[in-house]
Structure 1
């Protein structure tokens, strides 16, 4: 049937109005929760594409930072709203669909949780909530943030962007992730991976950054200067290396008997690198979080990855990842992070012999190996005076220093601590008699095991 032009246009207008009326009825027919989302986005829930980002639970604080920065830029007055009726982890889109069909989920208050942002700081983050905002091009979108429910085995936090067009949602998601990296709470912090009682949880713990002076590190002449020169690098030196096409990544191995000061030296290095993000791995964390740590170190460069007592995974070759010895996995991660990355790996070991073969088979991972031996006589006297402090009254330390030949720095520290306790009990000062009495006690047969654990002579 051929209609006059005006009649055809009138019918088209009537059809459009009918469709709009039907679409509006479809949007508004659901629950207030579903209607609030659909009305803002401007299309039925069933037509909203799913644009999401799933992050590890320990990235929740950064996700919140990214969302907050996005809202401050595009809709500073936007108000969050929540979902009532949630009893277990369900994706937000599924909640909205259920709300639209049977009313199980309703408009409610926003759920918040507390997330760490530093060793002694924390912030509130949305555990479950939505907010109406706009895309960079002005299109209406709804953001949904959902935190992990670790007690139920859900160890990821989630961002969902609800928009009429997938491209719009993707653009919003990318801007939020970019802002999250710009405001990353991990940057410049000292962090350690651990685990909780909840299965599969990946916890990142903030540690206080050490504050130490060079005179608090007692090593043989020139050793500390060599380590500092290799690890501590100014921005100018980094820029110069890049300009000349040289690699930035470096590897340091500190080896020696237990108790000689390897960890103490590492703590001093961390105090000299206040702008670096530091990751400390030890124990099971060496195996479980190695890849995650390498990825974060690359993301947050300049960074330092400290792997303590690496001989434990070198010695126990039953501890594997992906069928490969764990030590080889560590060395492969060190290589795979890329030579252009400003990342320093600092390894400590009590048994370098267990690593020599692996290091030889993977050359280039460690470019400086430094022995931290038991302190010689000069270092033992420096340690004695360091730990004794201003209270020490000892004009001539040579007899006591000679009597402690072969002990470690840990032994000297415990020796001085016991001498201080004896001096307090007796009312005398921290002098040679107090030190001699404490040393005789440690050297007695009854203290043989204690002496061994402290690194003293057998």
Structure 2
């Protein structure tokens, strides 16, 4: 029998079927087999629910999934996923039936590989390693889930969103798991009660939101040299509202409010805003400056989800300036977008909008057309004689100021800003050091510094230091 088989090499039908089965098994996508074994069914027949999140939510999602796996009674396995094209990455359907490669797009069919992580730096002390490409196989009782994470990519042409896809035995189970994760993301949000600076990263396409966490310095109340009645009114409209939030809600009062600080440059509007923020540590503070004003929609969405919150928008007159540009291609509806975003928040939303402006006249027409968006407009004025005396004492700390009578200097600095007085004392200290006097600043050094700023520096220096209103004698 063996001799007959050796003399007749033609394979039998059984051999052919076995070989074909082996080839088919070798060609079957790895993940199709793993998912089929995980669910105990053909994974191609199961529903997939996808949800996209802003890239800023990546660390929140990572904390949520880790917490849910630890506390939610799950068994889990994390598999690495490699391949996919450079634009959209890999989807769950791709794992089951890999799409053909697209010429010129790059990438490769999905395959098992190492789990890819992306470090997200929150501040100098905290970095969260977030899964950038990975497949979670989850079990909870009789339920089975597959959860694919596809994080935003960095550099060049990029995927700008965090995408999470969930496969389950039915749509309801998949939706429930996503809802549970969203609840945890809100509860564990890394930005809550922090100072968040939003700006636009323009070195990638499409442009992305850049988020940085900062810590506010503790600003003492006596560092604000303002008329006391004015400062008390500001504190009552911000810190006071925060302190009595529950009482105001119980009486049916609305919490959403808008404040405008306006006045000449250098008078301390930014310092005042930072002082108010530092006194409301339980609030999430969102700062928008420069190109960050384009991120109003995202900032307001974050403010809503992280309330109580404070949105600080500096130099808001620049937004109005864009609107008034004679070049039609440069016009921007950002000011009206801001007002619309404020309108879009419910009255009981605990969000304070704090705006600063050097040119309130540029804002007045739009604000007058939408009454009630700004509840309080406060001028931060140039310092009067008493405030200038206090500023000299504040910025003169660490110096031995000689000359008991500062009245002539106070008189000569009428119409200058707080920023001007700070620079005046810095230059006077330099003149004293050059003269070998150390920190002993005399009247002659103050006169030299004042002459250099007001006369030698010319109109531009006076303008840059907020002394436009001063008339040099």
Task: Give me the TM-score of the superposition, normalised by structure 2.
Answer: 0.85
Report the Cα distance in structure 2 between the residues aligned to 1:228 and 1:28, rounded to whole angstroms.
71
Q: Deviations over 1:50-88 (max 9, x none)?
A: 111101112111111111111112357634220134462
- Superposed displacement of residue 29, structure 1: 7.3
Report the Cα distance in structure 2 between the residues aligned to 1:317 and 1:74, rounded to whole angstroms.
51
Range with greater deviation from structure 2 (340-349 or 148-157)? 148-157
Tell me if the contact between 2:153 and 2:159 (Cα under 8 Å) persists in the aligned partners: yes
Tell me if the contact between 1:119 and 1:208 (Cα under 8 Å) persists in the aligned partners: no
Report the Cα distance in structure 2 between the residues aligned to 1:449 and 1:352, rounded to whole angstroms.
22
Within 5 Å, give how 1:92-241 maps onto structure 2: 92-98=91-97, 104-118=109-123, 120-135=125-140, 138-150=142-154, 151-196=156-201, 197-199=203-205, 200-233=207-240, 237-241=244-248
- Superposed displacement of residue 104, structure 1: 3.1
2:341 aligned partner = 333
Shift >6 Å, 4+ stretches: 25-29, 100-103
**Matching residue within 359, 364, 378 for 1:351:** 359
Q: Structure 1: give runs of 5+ residues left out of the alignment.
A: 1-24
1:430 aligned partner = 441
Distance 1:292 1:101, change over 3 A: closer
1:442 aligned partner = 453
Report the Cα distance in structure 2 between the residues aligned to 1:27 and 1:215, rounded to whole angstroms.
77
Report the Cα distance in structure 2 between the residues aligned to 1:140 and 1:92, rounded to whole angstroms.
18
1:63 aligned partner = 61
Q: Find the residue that maps to 1:412 and give its secondary structure.
A: helix
Report the Cα distance in structure 2 between the residues aligned to 1:397 and 1:387, rounded to whole angstroms.
14
Report the Cα distance in structure 1 between the residues aligned to 2:82 and 2:68, rounded to whole angstroms.
25
Distance 1:297 1:269, change over 3 A: same
CA RMSD in angstroms, aligned pairs only = 2.6
- Superposed displacement of residue 236, structure 1: 5.4
- Superposed displacement of residue 234, structure 1: 6.3
Report the Cα distance in structure 2 between the residues aligned to 1:70 and 1:248, rounded to whole angstroms.
33
1:308 aligned partner = 314
Tell me if the contact between 1:318 and 1:325 (Cα under 8 Å) persists in the aligned partners: no
Within 5 Å, give how 1:378-457 maps onto structure 2: 378-394=386-402, 395-428=404-437, 429-456=440-467, 457=470
Range with greater deviation from structure 2 (38-47 or 295-304)? 38-47
Tell me if the contact between 2:75 and 2:139 (Cα under 8 Å) persists in the aligned partners: no
1:91 aligned partner = 90
Q: Structure 2: give runs of 5+ residues left out of the alignment.
A: 1-22, 102-107
Task: Give me the TM-score of the superposition, normalised by structure 1.
Answer: 0.87
